[in-house]
Chains A and B, each alone.
Chain A
């Protein structure tokens, strides 16, 4: 009872901020994915067919997955790390009689909202440009995986924001983890064609599982249940790690 109201209290404040900047936030988060779509889907990939689909059909779910990731990650992490490091307003949450789970979960929810807003915008694009996507009977499953992905990467955003010691650290985390992951996780190419060793490595990235699941659902292929479970495990790990870090870092 109090857990839910505490989570909502934390989320409520972030929602108020979002309300003030909704359009700008949405526009910013759509720039990259739309560029990818134009460059890879229409430019590079025109005329290529892939696993029996056009490259465009193939790449749209991948781009949706990476949008969900980047947008949830920064939606949850970017304000949080500034509030924690530079403004003392994160301390106020720590001095209030609410638990660490409420803080971590509450702070993640705004990332989920960011992630869902931008990936829904891309889903709309996908539905209009990709015939297979439109025809897939698995769209509800697609949506479920999308929501789960947004949670996973929001938890990761919170974790990163709680770990970093400077603004620069946050940039480095993005540059060394988020950006490479967005290109490598089977978003733009098929894992089938990669060497075995690399494939194993790529399965260590949460986005790989997210893009595999989303693509299977979008193209009506056999659904990789193991990947969905892996994705959920990543979410649990990131959430738990955030709680532990928050309990430890009250220096």
Chain B
């Protein structure tokens, strides 16, 4: 029944499709009427402030949380009807440390390989390959407890890749990493995507979404409030931003679709003496995010 969507893409070309996917916890909607499509091969970013519903969405897509209502298809399979098919296709790196702390890195990887039915030879080969890939060869035989946070995250991503998943879910993969390690993680994510892995990544670091993602969805209070490429999203509020600093030292922003308009506005401002300084610059994803989640635009 789900052979084609509006764009004429077959479901197989869509790595993830959700239809009014919703989850209620107690009195609150953690996720409400989420309609989303992530194309196969895409690096998709899911951006939202704390408590927006990013993790809840991932948990529903990865078959461990049941939606209150709505449906989701991952790799063409309904997550509730064919969870075992979905599980074969996905790799997941959870937001919080999800390795067995009493086991070594290598043992954790081997366990993952076993529960994903890799043969003994394949297991061995894949573990060594991935240890090298994420730069953990020297730490392979330490228990997870003994590793620093950054190395734990590298071990987590290695574990999530062991069975060569088609679709990879990364829940805030770079949280708590230093600048160097973050860049390394970004490189790794790009490399995986270039190898053909579809990536669904959540973050609340805007520069991360901007640096990595081909398309970004912004979720706020459980609802998808914007979706598109970074440039499309910037286009939504206006590609140019006028930043004004008032007498009181407060910042104010106004967005324009072309530079001429922005300049005209600035000219007008120069007569006003309540403005101390003013600049025109390109809008960025952060502007979009603040504007859309700030409350003025979407109400509430």
B203 interfacial contact with A, CB 8 Å: no
Q: Is the CB of A88 within 8 A of B97?
A: yes
Distance of A243 from chain B, by nearest CB (Å): 15
Q: Is the CB of A91 within 8 A of B84?
A: no
Q: Is the CB of B117 within 8 A of A2?
A: yes
Q: Which residues of B contact A95 (CB under 8 A)?
A: 62-64, 87, 90, 92
- In this complex, the member of B64, B94, B103, B107 whose beta carbon has the largest number of chain A beta carbons within 10 angstroms is B64
Closest to B143 in A: A20
A13-B98 contact, Cβ under 8 Å, with A5-B117, A96-B115: no
Closest to B101 in A: A87
Complex Cα gap A201–B159 (Å): 49
B88 interfacial contact with A, CB 8 Å: yes
- In this complex, the member of A2, A12, A88, A96 whose beta carbon has the largest number of chain B beta carbons within 10 angstroms is A96
A12-B111 contact, Cβ under 8 Å, with A17-B100, A17-B102, A95-B90: yes
Distance of B203 from chain A, by nearest CB (Å): 19
Complex Cα gap A209–B62 (Å): 43
B66 interfacial contact with A, CB 8 Å: yes
Q: How many residues of A contact B (CB 8 A)?
A: 27
Complex Cα gap A10–B115 (Å): 7
Complex Cα gap A96–B114 (Å): 10
Interface residues of A in 56-111 (CB under 8 A from B): 79, 83, 87-89, 91-99
Q: Mark B60-102, 1 if CB is under 8 A from A, else 0.
A: 0011111000000000000000001001101010101111111
Complex Cα gap A97–B117 (Å): 9
Q: Is the CB of A250 within 8 A of B64?
A: yes
Complex Cα gap A31–B66 (Å): 44
Closest to A97 in B: B87
Distance of A122 from chain B, by nearest CB (Å): 26
Complex Cα gap A95–B87 (Å): 6
A24 interfacial contact with B, CB 8 Å: no
Q: Is the CB of B94 within 8 A of A12?
A: no
Closest to A94 in B: B64
Q: Which residues of B contact A13 (CB under 8 A)?
A: 100, 103, 107, 111
B112 interfacial contact with A, CB 8 Å: yes
Q: Which residues of B contact A184 (CB under 8 A)?
A: none
Q: Is the CB of B94 within 8 A of A88?
A: yes
Distance of A23 from chain B, by nearest CB (Å): 15
Closest to B84 in A: A97
Closest to A9 in B: B114
Q: Which residues of B contact A87 (CB under 8 A)?
A: 97-98, 100-101
Complex Cα gap A9–B120 (Å): 12
Interface residues of A in 33-73 (CB under 8 A from B): none
Q: Which residues of B contact A93 (CB under 8 A)?
A: 115
Q: Which residues of A contact B107 (CB under 8 A)?
A: 13, 16
Q: Which residues of B contact A16 (CB under 8 A)?
A: 103, 107
Distance of A97 from chain B, by nearest CB (Å): 4
Q: Is the CB of A88 within 8 A of B87?
A: no
A251 interfacial contact with B, CB 8 Å: yes
B191 interfacial contact with A, CB 8 Å: no
B116 interfacial contact with A, CB 8 Å: yes
A20-B102 contact, Cβ under 8 Å, with A12-B111, A13-B111, A98-B115: yes
Interface residues of chain A, those whose CB is within 8 Å of chain B, are 2, 5-6, 8-10, 12-13, 16-17, 20, 79, 83, 87-89, 91-99, 250-251
8 extra A-B contacts, CB within 8 A, seeds A99-B84, A250-B65, A251-B66: A12-B114, A13-B100, A17-B100, A94-B63, A95-B63, A96-B112, A97-B87, A251-B65
| 15 pairs, CB–CB < 8 Å, chain A vs chain B | A5-B114, A13-B103, A17-B100, A17-B102, A83-B100, A87-B101, A88-B98, A89-B100, A92-B115, A94-B63, A95-B90, A96-B115, A97-B88, A97-B115, A97-B117
